[in-house]
Amino acid sequence: MKKIIALCLAAMMMVGAFASCGGGSTSSGDGSGDSGSKVTTDTTKTGFDNVVSEADFGKEKNAKLKVWGPDAYTKLLKKQCEDFKKLYPKYVSKIEVVVQAEADAGTQMLADPEAGADVFGFANDQLNNLVNAGVIAQIAPKYAADIQATNLKEAVDACTLANPKTKKDTLYAMPETGNGYFLVYDKSVVSDKDAASFEKILEACKKNGKTFIMDAGNGYYSCMFVFTGGLRLEGLKADQKTQIFNKYDEKKVVASMKAFSTLMHKYKGTFKSLNVSNIPSGFTSSKTRKSTCGAGIDGNWDTAAIKAALGKNFGAAKLPTINIDGKDEQIVSMYGYKSVAINGTSKYPRTAQVLAYYLASEKCQNERCEQLGWSPTNKASVDTDAVKKDVAITALLDQSKYSVAQVNIGKIWDPFANLGSKLCADSTDPSSYDFNALFKKTINNILDQ
């Protein structure tokens, strides 16, 4: 309890400090627990270079910061942190970059925030837990105003949550990329036309002696088996734990599960349920090793590696359709955002805010887009020809139209993972398996946690 109180006080002090840095004529509530005080922000200025001033650092100097980022981003993240140091040499003396997967960042931060990074990237489904535990600092008002003005509304909404004390919508993180998955394929195996149909993709892979890879035993991907049938997540109850579902048609959801399971077993040996890390390596070939993968379901975090492996044969598209009871239905996925946030226990809260704001900037988003294939959330970046001509980013954005938002969700991952594993298990006979019972058990397991 003492730690949580200390964290909350730190967050309040940080926002109060930044409130004095605002300029211009537009006032807005800061959403902190400071008795509803008002701060001023100049909404006519946008972009990191125009918003940040040396006054933002306050009395902090020679800061030593730790930053968490995923393995694929490490090299570029180190460069971006060094670029930041060069901009503010008297305020920053050291930035240590540590590899930490975004999917696990929230768990690690909750376990021991004082040992965590000052600035860290995370997937937005973790936001509720971070805010409710008081371990994440809200974004300084003038940075929040710029983020809200320059980024896609959906991305900003994914970083926004009601302040537990004031109940006001508050920005707790800054979006850095869209987070989702799509179809990737070897054009020498699967044609662009066949890429529109799950059945034709599997047939093409089988014909060419290649595998189709997806992680069917991972809840992040296996949720598509029920989402395609019409199940939707509609937030959490007041306890911030219990999942709310839409009014779904159980027969359609079960029919979707059966359709996927039937294809998995029909193309046994071709369909492989493996970790997505096997997709880039599966596409890779050399003089002594032929590629083994023809297509798969992967995300923009692996785009650079897959492009390098396939070269001119690289193909990407939204997820295909699947035939359910004689009708082709669009496969529905999970779609969210990855964002950068500030540890509420940072010894250098002002400097950490500025660094996080820099990493979320248009410049850094463009660098991630160009070098890693990450889709930007900055509106100016999204509108560039480079993004529009990138088939992987286009595929991700196209699939986002057929997706369920990865925000305000409960403990769905393990139950969905179990469902996916059951659908593709060798012991499951799609012609006689009780999919209704599996679905009901999955829903009950989610609600009973």
> Using CA atoms, how far apart are residues 328 and 321, in angstroms rounded to an integer?
6
**pLDDT at residue 161 greater than cutoff 70:** yes
Residues 65 and 121 in one domain: yes
Of 392, 412, 435, the last residue of a domain is 392
In the chain, the number of structural domains is: 2
Domain boundary among 392, 412, 437: 392
The predicted-structure confidence for 361-388, as pLDDT tens digits, reads as follows 999 999 999 999 899 999 999 988 888 8
Contacts 24+ apart (CB under 8 A), 160-163: 161/127, 161/128, 161/131, 163/31, 163/32, 163/33, 163/131, 163/138
Tens-place pLDDT, residues 44-54: 578 999 999 99
Last residue of a domain, one of 351, 373, 392: 392
H or E element in which residue 403 lies:
strand 403-405
Check whether residue 238 and residue 353 sit in a common domain: no
- Say yes or no: 117 and 13 in one domain: yes
Q: To the nearest whole percent, how much of the chain has pLDDT over 90?
A: 82
Q: Are residues 195 and 316 in the same domain?
A: yes
**59 contact partners, CB below 8 Å, separation of at least 6:** none
- Would you give the distance in Å from CA 239 to the centre of its chain? 24
299 and 443 fall within a common domain: yes
Which of 25-34, 66-75, 315-324 has the least mean pLDDT?
Answer: 25-34
User: Would you say 145 and 43 are in contact if contact means Cβ atoms under 8 Å apart?
Assistant: yes
Same domain, 16 and 113: yes
CA distance 381 to 194: 31
- 220 and 362 in a common domain: no
Mean pLDDT across the chain? 90
Is the pLDDT reported for residue 12 higher than 50? no
Q: Given this model, what pLDDT does residue 44 score? A: 59
pLDDT at 157 over 80: yes
Q: Are 292 and 196 within one domain?
A: yes
Tokens 């627990």 correspond to what residue? Answer: 33
Residue type, 66: K
Same structural domain for residues 11 and 90?
A: yes
200 plus 109 within the same structural domain: no
**Whether residue 27 sits in one domain with residue 161:** yes
Over pLDDT 70: what percentage of the chain?
Answer: 90
Give the per-residue pLDDT at 164. Answer: 87
Per-residue b/e over 244-283, b at no fewer than 16 CB within 10 Å? eeeebeeebbbbbbbbbbbbbbebeebbbbbebebbbebb
**Which CATH number does the domain housing residue 381 bear?**
3.40.190.10
The residues, ordered by sequence, that sit 6+ positions from 222 with a Cβ below 8 Å of its Cβ are: 215, 216, 416, 417, 419, 420, 421, 423
pLDDT per residue as tens digits for the range 205-249: 999 999 999 999 999 999 999 999 999 999 888 888 899 999 999
Distance CA 167, CA 36 (A): 11
Which tokens go with 183? 């179809």
CA atoms within 13 A on the CB side of 86: 6
Q: Are residues 49 and 169 in the same domain?
A: yes
- Between CA 393 and CA 383 the distance in angstroms is 12
Range of the domain at 77: 2-178+336-392
Q: Which of 148, 116, 48 is nearest to 88 (CA)?
A: 48
The gap from C-alpha 219 to its chain's centroid, in whole angstroms, comes to 14
